[in-house]
């Protein structure tokens, strides 16, 4: 078996790169190499599209658009471990490339890993940013929301990866990736709220009621809606898992009475929490881990998710899916015989979600007044991807140390480190405000921009500090978005990305005062100017 190289996630081996026969995530070397081949083919497809556009600026590429989003999404960490799926996708990409513009060569993406370290670093930032952005664009695409400027940039960015570019040119493209991702996140926000309504604060129980149930993991609200419709009236409860938690805040999803609560915590705990689960689990997007024998027979995948030996639910050309196998499995397994009380990491038994930008800004006057009166002296955004790295308890300890006169905005699965804590309120405003999925980082940015506008100052002049955790490529593109907006003084952890060279790190520290996290007490003192 040919050896692999992969350093795209935070838990890459020795914080330098996974090599050999398997990665830390469980991805085998042949799968990793097929994903590299797929990326190489996507660069080839982008070359073909760019060639065609030079001859015919009005040409359209609907199938290529879909393949670009699907292909990039497939290569994100913990999405697809199934070689057959990836090989078929490579074939489709190559066929479409040859149809658009014959005799275009693919680009061997391994050349990037072997390039001069700063070029490697900048191209990796672009590639991983594109992969993360593709996930957001894919979710919007599933709801029939597209932005031509976003789609066009995928071709521009991928084509650049296979070209000779200077460090300055690549740095500009890194920031443009962040800029375009802001548009992409805005598009997804409009897609979700336009389809399911504006999220509202909603308390979610962690108790699993007796009887049949299905657990839904991932991020895709469209798949959640399809499943809710097909299970209505069948005596089956639906529970969210990990990043699906914010589904409870959307009125058009919350209206289903059998959307009953949340199962477990963040994605990295699934092997323990799903042990002997008497119910099927549906993975709609990334965060799938290798399954243990005790529940492997009840895990289902859909969309771009894949794993050898698991049943995959496909959609027809209109996007309709038949979830009958899950429904039958749920009834067969029967669920728990008695109500089962679960808890968050800190022992809490309920969670509150739904504080997207609409909900937070509806209290803008109260927040602004509280800041002016000194009741709120600081706002922390503590969010991002979670993982199994031992240093991630930093985020729990950090939030516990936030002063009583501060708010904590949070999003993505990193919030499970502390979202079951009761930190009280300030003038009726909960101190912890869950703004949604990693997809919903747009909400946090929207709130920050609105507060800056209200106070007539720049965002960097607000009493606001971003403390970010990262794991995979969606977090990378969010970081690039924040940098493209000029946000400074951010803290990033639990480690800096292995693919960032010393010179790139120095640039980000000098230009944006990007800080690696240290210890909660030390960072809190620095942020608040204590000591």
Q: Which sequence spans correspond to the domains of the chain?
A: 4-195, 202-341, 353-528
Location of structure tokens 């660069």 = 43
Of 88, 115, 170, 105, the closest CA to residue 5 belongs to 115
Query: What confidence score (pLDDT) does residue 317 get?
Result: 82
As a whole number of angstroms, the distance between CA 363 and CA 376 comes to 13
Query: What confidence score (pLDDT) does residue 439 get?
Result: 84
Please count the CA atoms within 13 angstroms of the CA of 215 that sit on its side-chain side: 26
> What one-character-per-residue DSSP string does 23-56 give?
-TTS-BHHHHHHHHHHHHHHHHHHHHHHHHHHH-
Q: What is the pLDDT along the chain (531 residues), one digit of tens a residue?
A: 589 999 999 999 999 999 999 999 999 999 999 999 999 999 999 999 999 999 999 999 999 999 999 999 999 999 999 999 999 999 999 999 999 999 999 999 999 999 999 999 999 999 999 999 999 999 999 999 999 999 999 999 999 999 999 999 999 999 999 999 999 999 999 999 999 999 999 999 999 999 999 999 999 999 999 999 999 999 999 999 999 999 999 999 999 999 999 999 999 999 999 999 999 999 999 999 999 999 999 999 999 999 999 999 999 888 899 999 999 999 999 999 999 999 999 999 999 999 999 999 999 999 999 999 999 999 999 999 999 888 899 999 999 999 999 999 999 999 999 999 999 999 999 999 999 999 899 999 999 999 999 999 999 999 999 999 999 999 999 999 999 999 999 999 999 999 999 999 999 999 999 999 999 999 999 999 997
Considering the domain 202-341 in this protein, what is its CATH number?
Answer: 3.40.50.2030
pTM of the full structure:
0.97
Neighbours of 20 (CB within 10 A): 11
Of 221, 228, 225, the closest CA to residue 257 belongs to 228
As a whole number of angstroms, the distance between CA 72 and CA 89 comes to 11
Within this chain, domains 202-341 and 353-528 share the same CATH topology? yes
As a whole number of angstroms, the distance between CA 24 and CA 33 comes to 15
Of 507, 446, 442, the closest CA to residue 474 belongs to 442
As a whole number of angstroms, the distance between CA 218 and CA 336 comes to 23
As a whole number of angstroms, the distance between CA 123 and CA 113 comes to 9
Considering the domain 353-528 in this protein, what is its CATH number?
Answer: 3.40.50.2030
Q: CB-based contacts of 476: which residues, under 8 Å, 6+ apart?
A: 125, 128, 129, 131, 132, 470, 497
Phi-psi region of 335 (alpha: psi -120 to 50; beta: other; left: phi over 0): left
Which architecture does CATH list for 4-195? Up-down Bundle (1.20)
Query: What confidence score (pLDDT) does residue 1 get?
Result: 55
Query: What confidence score (pLDDT) does residue 318 get?
Result: 83
Query: What confidence score (pLDDT) does residue 307 get?
Result: 97
């Amino acid at each position: 078996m040919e050896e692999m190289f992969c350093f795209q996630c935070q838990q890459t081996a020795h914080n330098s790169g996974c090599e050999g026969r398997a990665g830390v995530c469980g991805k085998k070397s042949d799968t990793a190499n097929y994903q590299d081949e797929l990326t190489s083919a996507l660069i080839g497809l982008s070359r073909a599209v760019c060639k065609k556009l030079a001859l015919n600026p009005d040409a359209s590429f609907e199938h290529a658009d879909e393949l670009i989003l699907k292909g990039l999404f497939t290569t994100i960490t913990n999405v697809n471990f199934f070689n057959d799926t990836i090989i078929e996708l490579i074939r489709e990409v190559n066929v479409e490339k040859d149809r658009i513009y014959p005799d275009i060569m693919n680009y061997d993406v391994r050349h990037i890993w072997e390039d001069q370290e700063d070029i490697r670093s900048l191209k990796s930032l672009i590639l991983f940013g594109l992969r993360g952005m593709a996930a957001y664009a894919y979710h919007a695409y599933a709801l029939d929301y597209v932005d031509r400027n976003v789609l066009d940039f995928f071709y521009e960015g991928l084509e650049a990866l296979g070209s000779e570019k200077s460090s300055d040119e690549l740095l500009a493209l890194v920031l443009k990736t962040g800029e375009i991702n802001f548009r992409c996140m805005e598009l997804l926000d409009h897609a979700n709220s336009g389809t399911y309504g504006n999220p509202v604060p909603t308390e979610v129980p962690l108790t699993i009621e007796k009887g049949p149930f299905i657990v839904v993991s991932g991020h895709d609200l469209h798949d959640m809606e399809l499943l809710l419709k097909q299970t209505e009236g069948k005596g089956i409860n639906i529970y969210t898992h990990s990043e699906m938690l914010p589904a409870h805040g959307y009125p058009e999803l919350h209206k289903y009475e059998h959307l009953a609560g949340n199962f477990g915590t963040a994605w990295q705990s699934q092997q323990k929490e799903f042990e002997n689960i008497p119910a099927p689990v549906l993975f709609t997007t990334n965060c799938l881990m290798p399954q243990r024998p005790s529940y492997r027979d009840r895990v289902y995948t859909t969309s771009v998710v894949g794993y050898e030996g698991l049943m995959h639910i496909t959609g027809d050309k209109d996007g309709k899916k038949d979830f009958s196998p899950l429904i039958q499995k749920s009834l067969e397994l029967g669920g728990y015989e008695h109500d089962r009380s679960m808890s968050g990491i800190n022992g809490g038994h309920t969670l509150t979600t739904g504080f997207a930008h609409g909900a937070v800004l509806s209290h803008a006057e109260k927040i602004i007044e509280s800041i002016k009166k000194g009741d709120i002296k600081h706002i922390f955004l503590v969010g991002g991807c979670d993982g199994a790295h031992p240093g991630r308890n930093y985020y729990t300890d950090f939030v516990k140390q936030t002063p009583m006169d501060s708010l904590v905005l949070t999003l993505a699965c990193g919030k499970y480190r502390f979202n079951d804590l009761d930190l009280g309120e300030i003038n009726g405003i909960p101190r912890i405000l869950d703004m949604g999925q990693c997809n919903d980082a747009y909400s946090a940015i929207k709130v920050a921009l609105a507060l800056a506008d209200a106070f007539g100052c720049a965002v960097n002049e607000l009493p606001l500090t971003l403390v970010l955790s990262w794991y995979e490529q969606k977090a990378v593109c969010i970081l690039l978005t924040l940098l493209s907006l000029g946000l400074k003084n951010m803290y990033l952890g639990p480690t800096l990305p292995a693919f960032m060279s010393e010179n790139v790190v120095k640039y980000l520290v000098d230009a944006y005062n990007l800080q690696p996290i240290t210890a909660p007490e030390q960072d809190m003192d620095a942020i608040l100017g204590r000591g």
